[in-house]
A and B are shown apart, each in its own frame.
Chain A
């Protein structure tokens, strides 16, 4: 299919540390199409940011090892000359980050930072670059863009800074935008504006977006497909509706039931007990088994002894769980998770 912008297969990232090898990302596969959004969901340390940094070629250091395949712009990025990957960054793939204040350089003006993003990839005059920056700032909803270009990041509000980041990421019309928790550091009202802006720009430019988040509300709002990550692995992958209506994996259930419900009879949240696993000593069995309430439903302690594969439930839906599809459906009914038929 020609409209697949990014295709990742069996991507793994390992870091050698003094305490042992950290398996930050373990054989993750996904693809994103032009104009569509893939949300990668998971808690801190689940490998969602690291996997995207690996795609961008931003995993550095001698102790890091990236394996697998990353097909992008007709090239295989894993193992490609870093200089070639650099040329793609900012031009064909771009990234925005969680905290726009720390992600913008405090000593350079907005204009300087955006003009630099233009001129690093294209030999254009200062005047032309400035004009393009102004147009782009205007496009992302920054009023009086010309004046703002002479201002420094600390003079702008949080929402405006993120708009600047988005403008900087999209100024060269990249095919792929990786948004790493783009709204986490923002006020709720500003969050909605930023998401709307991203959607609008996606429509206009046809950008493929990989959206990293832990906020399922954002997922429901933005995503076409979802990948749930836990302990460096993809534990469930599906189109967004299916994930909310027929979640297949106890960890996803946990995520869904830890969302505060506006109309719930009980005000108590239902958190997932325990903490994420250490990425150095991953459990031998299912990575989620130590926290899973349902591991006894599977015979022979299989959950603790054998790693489940990412198995297809439907053509588009896959999950990593030893329970049978019927057992999962029972639990969903019992706990009133998803869409109960």
Chain B
């Protein structure tokens, strides 16, 4: 068990390193001069060159990379002599477009994204798994067919359509809810819920449809296993057979998908955040792309990818917790 986790963590560190190099190269592969992007249209060559030196863009690529990584761990100071600027740990760069440290911007954007991801995650897991088990237990009957039909529709609908429809009907036409205006739940919990409920639901519909189908197929697969027959031969009541024996055995792929999907959303749900004006990571990333804000693009990419890699190891550890064959081998 322990060596397994150590091995996974080593692999994760290696992946993160690789990831940082790729994102860094991405930054430099853009067919524009990063220094040129630091000031507006009427920008003199002197200012461009000054900024180039201040940001360290004149140095060789490996040196730039090391400085960037160092900045993440110990912070860094841009410029030299009297004109210096401190970028605090973890320093992910400085956004000239916003005149702000990228880390600060990400910290501001993170809560909205986390609330969005976690809220819809809970919704879709509860509904997806429950209806998946229900459908599997009534395979072929009308309940199963109805659920499968609904999930097919839910899974096929693009998230922007669901989101826009909800926005249009619930808010614009029927005025059930006020226009979305994100506030922190600590400031105004009611307004927070009013803003989040539709984004939660519209994301959850898509994922719940997928998890219903996944759970159903997993359950159908494990229900035909020999150990389920054994459980019944022992005289266990059917609901115990389903919950304790079949569901537990079919859990692994569900956990994998759940980890990956949650991590993906934590990196920013671009469309949903846009539709419901949530100031989250996805929105930050897209705005950065639109404005050619290179340090922000790099940083948001790095953060989103880090979520995925960390989720991978969490899932691996959960595997071991679920399946003793993984833990003990």
Give me the interface of A with B, judged by CB distance under 8 Å: 56, 58, 62, 86-91, 94-95, 97, 99, 102-107, 109, 116-117, 120-121, 152, 154-155, 165, 168-169
Contacts and interface: CB of A to CB of B under 8 A. Distances in A.
A58 B234 contact: no
B242 to A, nearest CB: 13
Nearest to A107: B248
Given A88-B235, A116-B236, A107 B225 contact: no
A87 to B, nearest CB: 6
Interface stretch (B209-217, B260-268, B298-306, B320-328): B320-328
Which among B140, B227, B249, B323 has the highest number of chain A CB atoms within 10 Å?
B227
Contacts of B236: 90, 116, 120
Contact of B227 (A87, A89, A102): A102
Interface in B245-261: 245, 248-249
Given A152-B324, A152-B325, A155-B328, A104 B234 contact: no
Contacts of B328: 152, 154-155
Contact of A105 (B232, B237, B238, B249): B249
A97 B232 CA distance: 12
Interface in B147-173: none
Nearest to A168: B234
B233 A105 contact: no
Contacts of B227: 102-106
Given A102-B225, A105-B245, A107-B323, A94 B233 contact: yes
B231 A105 contact: yes
Nearest to B235: A90
Contacts of A87: 235
Given A103-B227, A106-B324, A95 B233 contact: yes
B237 to A, nearest CB: 7
A99 B240 CA distance: 23
Interface in B181-233: 225-227, 229-233
B230 A105 contact: yes
Contact of B235 (A89, A97, A102, A105): A89
Interface residues of B, number: 23
A107 B233 contact: no
Given A58-B232, A102-B227, 14 more contacts: A56-B233, A86-B237, A86-B238, A88-B235, A89-B232, A91-B235, A102-B226, A103-B230, A105-B248, A107-B323, A116-B234, A117-B235, A120-B236, A154-B328
A99 B226 CA distance: 8
A88 B233 CA distance: 9
Contacts of A165: 230
Nearest to B325: A154
B233 A58 contact: yes
B230 A97 contact: yes
18 contacts: A58-B233, A86-B238, A89-B234, A99-B226, A102-B227, A103-B229, A105-B231, A105-B249, A106-B323, A107-B249, A120-B236, A120-B240, A121-B235, A152-B328, A154-B324, A154-B325, A154-B328, A168-B230
Interface of B: 140, 225-227, 229-238, 240, 245, 248-249, 322-325, 328
A111 to B, nearest CB: 13
B contact patch SS:
helix
A97 B323 CA distance: 23
B224 to A, nearest CB: 11
- CB-based closest 3 A-B pairs: A90-B235, A89-B235, A102-B226
Nearest to A63: B140
A107 B324 CA distance: 6
A154 B151 CA distance: 37
B219 to A, nearest CB: 15
Nearest to B223: A60
Contact of A86 (B230, B235, B245, B325): B235
Nearest to B240: A120
B322 A120 contact: no
Nearest to A57: B232
A119 to B, nearest CB: 10
Contacts of A97: 226, 229-230
A2 B231 CA distance: 31
B249 A120 contact: no
A99 B227 CA distance: 10
B325 A90 contact: no
B235 A103 contact: no
A235 B262 CA distance: 60
A155 B230 CA distance: 19
Nearest to A101: B226
Contacts of A107: 248-249, 322-324
Contacts of A121: 235
Contacts of A90: 233-236
A171 to B, nearest CB: 9
Nearest to B329: A154
A157 to B, nearest CB: 15
A120 B235 contact: yes
A168 B231 CA distance: 11
A106 B249 contact: yes
Nearest to B141: A62
Contacts of B237: 86, 120
A288 B140 CA distance: 36
B75 to A, nearest CB: 47
B91 to A, nearest CB: 45
Contacts of B324: 106-107, 109, 152, 154
Contacts of B323: 106-107
A265 B236 CA distance: 53
B241 to A, nearest CB: 10
Contacts of A103: 226-227, 229-230
Nearest to B246: A105
A121 B235 CA distance: 8
A104 B249 CA distance: 12
A90 B232 CA distance: 9
A339 to B, nearest CB: 39
A89 B245 CA distance: 17
